Each structure stands twice: as structure tokens, then as C-alpha cells.
Amino acid sequence: MNIFCLGLSHHTAGVSLRERFAVEEGKLGEALSALREEAALQEAVLLSTCNRVEVYGLASDPDAAALACADFLQRSAGIEAEFYRREQAEGARHLFRVVCGLDSMVVGETEILGQVKDAYAAALATGATGSTLNRLFQQAFRVAKQARSETGITRGAVSVGSVAVELAEKIFGDLTACRVLLLGAGEAGARVARSLQSRGVRGLIIANRTFDRAAELAAELGGMALHFDRWQSALTDVDIVISSTAARGHLLSAAELLPVLALRGDRPLFLVDLAVPRDFDPSLNEMEGVFLHDIDSLQAMAQRGMAARGREAERCEKLIDAQVQEFFEWALQRPSSAPVAARS
């Protein structure tokens, strides 16, 4: 049995190169069929995401097959690249680490598991897999489930956006009824707004000194634009305020917020201050019902989450080692004469 993985990822290639090699979802089956024929692959799965393009293959001559795969990918992309290659146990281990999120930009992220499942389903639908890769990928999905249930690899916020979402859920619980005010139309604030939307937030108001930019971002995110000189009037109706402006001096003081709180009743107000220098007076955090976090506190919490996931990653690696051994014990028990037929 000669399995291998060949590819490139965010570890080895910048986004400008990765995007050249990306395969459109609708063309994945067609590309996989052509790749199998050209590289004489008995079985194959082609994985293409924003962070990686990888071929998992089974071939009687893995050296020749890997070279043919590299040539095919480079011709399709119209550019040369350096590919990594993992064989046998290291190829299996690489796949298991990928699905567990250990090879991701953010350790423990879960989106990659669904992407690998989609790639495997596409290969299965076109008849590109057989008993070996079917076993390998099904075992990969089992180890990913085991890693999630037996370790804390996916737990703990590890980005400013995920920290903000975690804090918001602690304050409000269900976020579907929450309304968000975004001050400034920069990418930092927009990322946090998107993170909140991913967890159910529907109401979004964007205020920016350049109204056209606020309107543009509002259209992109499905919110509404507000003229910047009117943003304080929205404070009585929103639950979360994300601020990331280039203002000189504080945009909101305790004296300005006090009458707003009287109108809000007992509804909490969560302030996310991403600006440097800060947009909100730090003393706001001392006011009843106000929860204020600045960029330093959010980043510190994200770093603690990363450290915790790093410790859990060690536990995941041990689970993976055991699963790799199990897979190759299964492979060795198969009759050596049993062919693995390529499917048309």
C-alpha cells in the first residue's frame, strides 16, 4: 500500500500563490478525474480550501504519481510552486492533524473538518476512492470526533472576534435579539461584527465619518448606515457597541452615558473598544450594567485561549499517533495480493 499526500498550505505559500492553485468547488470532480488519469492514481481525494490545496493518493509508483500530481497542479495554476510530500504513516498523520485543526492557522478551528468531508464526498461521488482511502478518511473523521470529545482543542476563544462573541454570550445568552452599533468602518471592527453575526446577531448599525463608506459596509454586512454625528442617539436601542475609530480623545464619557443608561432600564451595554488611542473612557466600566473591554484585555484573553489550546494539542497528537498505528495495522492484515482497483 503506497499512500501519499502532496500539497501546499498557509505554512508554505502566501495567499497570492494559494489562490492560483485553488480549485472551484463546482470543478472539483472534473479536476480530480483528470488528475487521477494523468497521475495513474488508483485512488485519490483532492482538497482545496482558502488555506490549502492537497492531493491524497494511492499509487503503485508513488514517486512518479507525486511528480505527475505536482506537474498537473502547476499547469492548472499556470505557475510553479514548492510542494510538501508526506508518505505512508506521515501522510496519514498529516490528514489526521488537518481534520483535528492542528495544522490550521487557528489551532483547533472546526471549519476544516467540514471542508475535508466535502472533498471526500466529492471523491466518493466520482468513484475516485476505494477501500484504502475510504478507511483512511473515515478513520480521520473518527479521530476528529474523538479529539473534540476527549480534549479541549476547540474550546477557548483565540481571536479578538471570538473573545468578543464569548463575552457577549456570557452577558446576553442568545445573541439573536441583540443589536450592534459599529463605530468606524475599518476591517478590525468589521471582523468582530462578522463574528457576532455568525452567532446570530441580525441588527447592525454602522456609523463612520465618511457616510459613503458606512453605507458600503452596511450593504456588505446586511446592516444600516448612520451619520456619524448621530451615533449617540442609537445608544438607547443597541446592546453592543464596537468602536474602532481614529478619534483624538474619548468619544464617550461617563457624563454622556449616564442619561442614556437611565433610558435603557436594566438592559446591559457591552462596549468593545478596539481603538488606539481608546475611544471610550475606561471609567465607563465602573458604571452599573456597563461591560467595557479594550483591545489589550481582548488580546490577553485570546492569548490565554491559544495557550490552553496548545496544551490540548499535545493530547490530540497522542490520539493521532494511536489512530495512525491502528490504520497501518489494518493495512498489514489485508491480503498482500488484494488489488485496489481504480474506479472509472
Which active-site residues does the annotation give? Answer: 50
Residue 154 cell numbers, joined: 476547540
Determine the Cα–Cα distance for residues 27 and 30; give it in Å rounded to an integer: 5
